[in-house]
Amino acid sequence: MKNSYNVKSKLALLVVIFFTYFGFSQGNDQEQIKKLYDAALTQGKGYDWLNYLSNQIGGRLSGSIQAQQAVNYTKSQLDSLGLDKVWLQPVMVPKWVRGTPEFAYFETTPGVTTNMAICALGGSVATPPKGIKANIIEVDGIEELATLGKDKIQGKIVFFNKPMDPTQINTFNAYSNCVDQRYSGALEASKYGALGVIVRSMNLRLDDFPHTGSMGYGEQSVDDRIPAAAISTNAADLLSTSLKLNPEINFYFKQNCKQFEDVESYNVIGEIRGSSKPEEIILVGGHLDSWDLGDGSHDDGAGCVQSMEVLNLFKKTGYTPKRTIRVVLFMNEENGLRGGTKYAEVAEASNEKHIFALESDSGGFTPRGFTFDSSDKDFDKIKSWKPLFEPYLVHYFEKGGSGADIGPLKKDGLVLAGLRPDSQRYFDYHHAENDTFEHVNKRELELGSASMASLIYLVDTYGF
């Protein structure tokens, strides 16, 4: 009995030492986190905010009227929360306009054509006014261009048809492994004399929605730039099959997009000032701009309203943070990252001390966990909080990337993090016409907000 008592005593002491070392009181934290989840699921405002952004404003391409309307709306909503400070941070952003709807077809024999679902890639130049019609050649990624050489590519349209890898459980890995053909395909194909490029949409599902996204020409002169567009996955499969039957197929596409001079826009910022350590800033955010084809509900309206909701949940539960909690809705993540870059520049010039930044930019789906860009020591502390999330089925705590907009803040001692929802459906909607409000589940969105608020609560309470 004595030995058993001693073992139990030692175990109890170890538990006390563990929680003392990692710096948290499980009972109090469980209670506060439950309050945050309960408030999100019963009193949350995020779904209504997203409804307005999506259905009353719509797609919010940087430099557009809709982007400015979103700035005005989200600022007014942050003002209504009774925060300590709300302001707009000016930033110059690119203004690219799609113009009239694009049109494309392939021609198997003269006069026999099949229309294709197509959209211009963001930042692309226009085709000539009458469009481009030429023989088309299929490649499985940028690397194949060098194998084919200029003799086989010059004067043709290049069709990049490298698909996302369906065996990747993390669909963002599948995206990363083939998105180079979308971003750099036109620049690389032009070096071999191509007239234009068509890219298979970054989408794991077979459907008829073409997915846009940013592309770039680097330092290439305007005269050497060739137009680039995406076709749907169904269209890509049909075109690929048809080319195998008839390699002499001609492809036609027309688009009249245009790049204008930069215009002024804004990051939208609000904060609750810390009660005892106001100089230490904890940031939560998403990007307010979106592509123009849908209404940007998942990418990234969801991340914006979840970030706003974090501050609302603290207000609802009566939690007074020690540190300053700041929400930032960044402008121009999709085609320039100007908002994230500007915010980091101003923070550096103002000698602001950020200790933690969390971004939500992976859709409004069921939260699974977070990834962290941090030191091993800080990550060990973060992992000690994992049991507090497991009752909410949030279990994925791994080192990895964080978010594009908070990336420019990176420096030693700053922990960056990204919310990681279930990713299986994300690329069904990413940058496409069907990224709309009806595809966001209210409960999933709210659970994400609560998970973010809970993590920020723990960081605020215990720091690093």
Query: So which residues are the catalytic ones?
Result: 333
DSSP 258-300: EEEEEEEEEEEEEEE--SSEEEEEEEEEEE----SSS--IIII
Tell me the one-letter amino acid at 258: K
Please give the angle made by the CA atoms of 172, 178 and 180, to the nearest 5 degrees: 110
Report the C-alpha gap between 256 and 125 in whole angstroms. Answer: 8
Calpha distance 121→110 (Å, rounded): 28
Residue 176's alpha-carbon distances to 85, 157, 195, 272, 399, in angstroms, are 38, 24, 26, 36, 17
Helix (H) or strand (E) segment spanning residue 357:
strand 353-359
In whole angstroms, give the CA distance from residue 328 to residue 270.
7
CA distance 265 to 225: 27
CA–CA distance, 64 with 68 (Å, rounded to integer): 7
Query: How many other C-beta atoms lie within 10 A of the C-beta of residue 345?
Result: 12
Report angle CA 437, 438, 444 to the nearest 5 degrees.
85
Give CA–CA dist 297/444, Å, rounded.
13
* Joined tokens for residue 1: 């009995």
Q: How far apart are CA 431 and CA 425, in angstroms?
A: 13
| CA-based R_g, the chain, Å | 25
Distance CA 309, CA 171 (A): 27
In the chain the first and final C-alpha atoms are separated, in Å, by 42
* Closest to 120 in 3D by CA, of 100, 135, 105: 100
Q: Where are the alpha helices (DSSP H) in 1-109?
A: 2-22, 26-43, 46-52, 65-80
* DSSP type of residue 122: B
CA gap 326, 35 in Å, rounded = 20
Block residue for tokens 């207000």: 315
In sequence order, what are the residues at sequence separation of 6 or more whose Cβ sits closer than 8 angstroms to the Cβ of residue 246? 108
Name the amino acid, one letter, at 367.
P
Rounded to whole angstroms, how far apart are CA atoms 197 and 350? Answer: 44
